[in-house]
Structure 1
Amino acid sequence: MAPKRTRDGDFFAKDSGAEPVKKRKGFSVGPANLPDGTYRRKTQKIKSDLIQKAKVKKAYAKIKAQERAAGTPKSVYDRADEEDGKTKDDEAEPASLELHPDRVTMLNEPEPEPAPEPAPRPQRRPREDGKRQNRNPKRSAFTKEMEIAEKRKEAAEARQRQREAKQKDREAMLRAKRPDQFGKRRLGRESNVLLSRVQRMVGQ
């Protein structure tokens, strides 16, 4: 019977004796079927940023590995501390007992004279009567408006009094026009009401 046929990939793998090299698959950001537009450009930008960051990280790791292979260098802070220590030692000078020139000049100067006391102020003479001067009262900014308001108030009160008087006359006239028990008019009462009305009109 004929030998069973194997797959092409298995055949090549057995013959070569080495495993086939796997092709690295690229990564994707966002859906693959986006139309050309804002969202697609945004995903492409994100992908390019990620690739750039990965490259920088890889380059940094490479440089760091080279430095480690060369030897363990001291950190930047240790170097700075050493340099500061050296400069401090160089700059340190022995303290001298001599005074500063400015201090010497201050000590040699004579003491300043005390400032003269200010002359006392002359006291005000008290007023003869001991009272404040009579001044005219300041005119208020709203004097005119207050006068107008007062006039309006007086006019309103006069109108109110007039209305009340008319109402009283009307009621008195209604009472006077009522007939007496025999059905006759009360002319005396009507005349009194008319007389009071005429007097009020003449008085106005």
Structure 2
Amino acid sequence: MAPKRTHDGDAPASKGEPEVKKRKGFSVGPANLPDGTYRRKTQKIKNDLIHKAKVKKAYAKIKAQELATAPKKSIYDIVEENDKEIAKHDEKPAEEATTLELHPDRIAMLNEPEPAPAPRPERRQRGDGKQRERRPKPSAFTREMEFAEKRRKEEEERQRQREAKQKEREALLRAKRPDQFGKRRLGRESNALLSRVQRMVGQN
């Protein structure tokens, strides 16, 4: 078979050298986002990452230059400096020599008599020595409970009035019934009417 023809633009790759792949740029988020809030957000994140990477790279470059230009100390110089520091710390001036004698001010303070403790004020007892009664803690629903109690009392009053009216009606109906001879019972009617008037006057 004949070997395959290569395109005019492609260079023939040698067998010994591996092909160099182009590095692709990194992506943040899906590539097919429509233009809008999410796309702008991902682009902003990508730009921030690129900026931080550039700053980091520039800092590393400057730091490497500084370290290269800084004069390096030999190990002998470092050891000599450490020895000098240790010698400075070990030297003690004669004035700072520790003694077991107390300072004169301290001796004077120790010789002074101790002041008498101030008498504690007596706590006066409240009442007859009984514990103070605690006031009950106000409930969080005091107003609601008062309102409910008021409504309950009003409802009981209305119920009592309804029952009183019902009794009067029944008593009036019984009083209006004629006796065995067909005559009206005026005494009973007057008593029923009087109790009704008294209730109406008592309400007002």
TM-score calculated relative to the size of structure 1: 0.39
TM-score calculated relative to the size of structure 2: 0.39
